[in-house]
Amino acid sequence: MRIRKALITDIKEIQVLVNDFARKEQMIPRSVNELYENIRDFVVADDKHGIVGACALHILWEDLAEIRSLAVRKEFQGKGIGRKMVNNCIRDARALGIKRVFVLTYQPDFFRKLKFRDTDKASLPQKIWGDCIRCPKFPECDEHALIRDVSSNT
């Protein structure tokens, strides 16, 4: 299993994976066009089975980025793949000089184990009026908002 930057040839597999979770209302669906436009945000986990996980680091502001579209195929969950992809995105954020990374999730305990702490969604205005407005649950969002300081290795 390796974690690597996504390639153009990975787009269709990423879309299938992400949109499978979106159909279960666990994340926002992504169009092929949107994935092509944001390919540089994504890392993937792959092995002989193809793409088994995907995760994106999306820059929102000079000091704020979002971990989004974290998805791991069901049969590969619980093996540390999601953690490795998130940690990869955090390293990238740190290298870019990003100070804080947040996530909106239905799996808050997963992110708490990765040193994210709960935060109020109202503290994330760039996000609320970005992707969230496209969500069928908006404005009655039931996701948890968590944030992590990544400006140091702690």
Instruction: List, for residues 40-70, the tens digit of each pLDDT value.
Output: 999 999 998 899 999 999 998 889 999 999 9
Please, are residues 79 and 121 in contact by the beta-carbon 8 Å criterion?
Answer: no
Distance CA 114, CA 148 (A): 9
Domain count, the chain: 1
* Inside any domain, residue 42: yes
Distance CA 67, CA 114 (A): 12
CATH of the domain at 29: 3.40.630.30
* Inside any domain, residue 23: yes
Residue 127 has pLDDT above 80, yes or no: no
Instruction: List, for residues 64-112, the tens digit of each pLDDT value.
Output: 999 999 999 999 999 999 999 999 999 999 999 999 999 989 899 999 9
Q: How much is the average pLDDT of 132-145?
A: 64
Structure tokens at 84: 């490795």
What is residue 137's predicted lDDT score, i.e. its pLDDT?
57
* Inside any domain, residue 154: no
pTM exceeding the 0.85 threshold for the entire prediction: yes
Residue 138 has pLDDT above 80, yes or no: no
Range of the domain at 23: 2-149
* Inside any domain, residue 109: yes
